[in-house]
């Protein structure tokens, strides 16, 4: 299994540009989530999904959109990038069985918005 | 605001010494987890302790949980240079404090183990 994969690894955007960060997992996990990691802030939850067609907001959802059309994929869209969105983005997944909370993380996407 | 806060923010020790990191949180939890992050990499799950447990061991790791104080500690015994990483606590909220689907992370402790 490849686990959780993310593309691209690095991206530079200009303010106002749009892009989609890709996330895929091959573990048949129902739960997927997106976090951003900023220096001194730890990881903050952006959006999450408990299954195909079901998404919800996390702590910092503004400026980001998500959709979940398949179990495997959970893309994160930036509609109009802002410098405040410069960060490292991590996708994670886990199963949703009771008591199963261990999350598996992707390698991250480092995004710079100029 | 962050649910979990780690203390200290940074820790520097020699190989063979023990490393202790602490985590405090604010609301009721279902469980608390510790993750490790090597520089430039994703997070890796280390250990999970449930709200009805007080102590848990895994290899050189020992985790304690005090729900009355809303705090946890991670002890790494006989540390090695390879333990150099950032360590994060993460709390899984229960259904009465924001939804059991959310895992909220603290800001982390940067551990440096010198040979």
Q: What is the pLDDT of residues B37-60, one digit of tens each?
A: 999 899 999 999 999 999 999 999
Mean pLDDT taken over chain A = 93
H helix intervals, chain A: none
**Alpha-carbon distances, residue A15 vs A8, A35, A75, B71 (angstroms):** 18, 21, 20, 41
| Residue B97 in this model has a pLDDT that exceeds 70 | no
Q: For residues B85 and B109, what is the distance between their CA atoms, to the nearest angstrom?
A: 8
Residues of chain B contacting residue A43, judged by C-beta atoms under 8 Å apart: 43, 88, 90, 105
Q: Nearest Cβ partner of B45 from A4, A42, A102?
A: A102
Q: State the pLDDT at residue B80.
A: 97
Percent of chain A at pLDDT exceeding 70: 97
Q: Nearest Cβ partner of A42 from B42, B88, B102?
A: B88
Q: For residues A30 and A27, what is the distance between their CA atoms, to the nearest angstrom?
A: 9
Q: Is B68 in CB contact (< 8 Å) with chain A?
A: no
To test the contact with chain B by mutation, choose from A43, A61, A99 the residue with the greatest count of B C-beta atoms within 10 A, namely: A43
Cβ burial, residue B31 (10 Å; 0-12/13-18/19+): buried
Q: Is B103 in CB contact (< 8 Å) with chain A?
A: yes
Q: What is the pLDDT of residues A82-107, one digit of tens each?
A: 999 999 999 999 987 766 678 999 99
Give the tokens for residue A80. Answer: 């109009």
Percent of chain B at pLDDT exceeding 70: 90
Contact A42 B106 (CB under 8 A): yes
For A41, name the nearest residue in chain B, comparing CA atoms only.
B107
Q: For the CA atoms of B76, B113, A5, A76, what is the dihedral angle to 10 degrees? A: 90
Q: How many CA atoms lie within 13 A of B63 on its CB side?
A: 25
Q: Are strands A19-25 and A42-51 parallel, antiparallel or unpaired?
A: unpaired
Which residues, 6 or more positions from A7, have their beta carbon under 8 angstroms from its beta carbon?
A21, A22, A109
Task: Quote the radius of gyration of chain A (alpha carbons, Å).
Answer: 13
Contact B41 A107 (CB under 8 A): yes
Buried-state track B56-65, b at ≥16 Cβ within 10 A, e below 16:
beeeebbbbb
Short-list A40, A24, A44, CA closest to A32 = A24
| Residue B108 in this model has a pLDDT that exceeds 60 | yes
**Which of A9-13, A34-38, B6-10, B102-106 is the least confident region?**
B102-106
- The shortest C-alpha distance from A13 to chain B (Å) reads 20
């Amino acid at each position: 299994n490849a686990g959780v994969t993310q593309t691209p690894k690095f991206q530079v955007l200009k303010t106002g540009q749009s892009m989609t960060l890709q996330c895929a997992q091959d573990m048949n996990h129902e739960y997927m989530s997106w976090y951003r990691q900023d220096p001194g802030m730890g990881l903050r939850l952006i959006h999450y999904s408990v299954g195909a067609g079901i998404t919800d907001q996390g702590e910092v959802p503004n400026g980001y959109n998500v959709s979940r059309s398949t179990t495997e994929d959970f893309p994160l869209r930036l509609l109009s990038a802002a410098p405040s969105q410069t960060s490292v983005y991590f996708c994670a997944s886990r199963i949703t069985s009771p008591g199963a909370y261990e999350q598996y993380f992707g390698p991250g996407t480092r995004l710079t918005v100029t | 605001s962050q649910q979990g806060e780690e203390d200290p923010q940074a820790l520097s020790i020699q190989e063979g010494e023990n490393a202790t990191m602490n985590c405090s949180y604010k609301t009721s939890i279902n469980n608390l987890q510790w993750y490790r992050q090597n520089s430039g990499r994703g997070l890796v799950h280390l250990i999970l302790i449930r709200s009805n447990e007080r102590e848990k061991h895994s290899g050189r790791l020992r985790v304690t949980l005090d729900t009355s104080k809303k705090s946890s500690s991670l002890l790494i015994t006989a540390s090695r240079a390879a333990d150099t990483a950032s360590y994060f606590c993460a709390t899984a909220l229960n259904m009465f404090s924001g939804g059991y689907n959310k895992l909220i992370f603290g800001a982390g402790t940067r551990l440096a183990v010198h040979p």
